[in-house]
Amino acid sequence: MEYAYPAIFHKNEDSTYTITFPDLPGCISEGKTIANAIFMSQAALTQWIEYLKDKKMQLPTPSPLSAIQVETDEFANYVCIDYKENRAVKRTVSIPKWMDDLVIESGLSLSRILQDALKQRFKELNA
Q: Return the DSSP state at 89.
A: -
Q: Using the predicted structure, report yes or no on whether residue 127 has a pLDDT greater than 90.
A: no
Query: Percent of the chain beyond pLDDT 90?
Result: 68
- Tell me the pLDDT of the chain averaged across its residues: 92
pLDDT at 88: 73
Per the CB < 8 A criterion, the answer to whether 72 and 16 are in contact is no
Position 48 pLDDT exceeds 80:
yes
- Cα gap 38→83, rounded to integer Å: 16
Beta-sheet strand order (sheet of 28-31): 28-31, 17-20, 2-11, 74-82
Binned at pLDDT 50, 70 and 90, residue 21 comes out as very high
Model-wide pTM > 0.75:
no
Q: Is the pLDDT confidence value at 89 over 80?
A: no
The residue-averaged pLDDT of 94-99 equals 90
β-bridge partners, 8: 20, 76
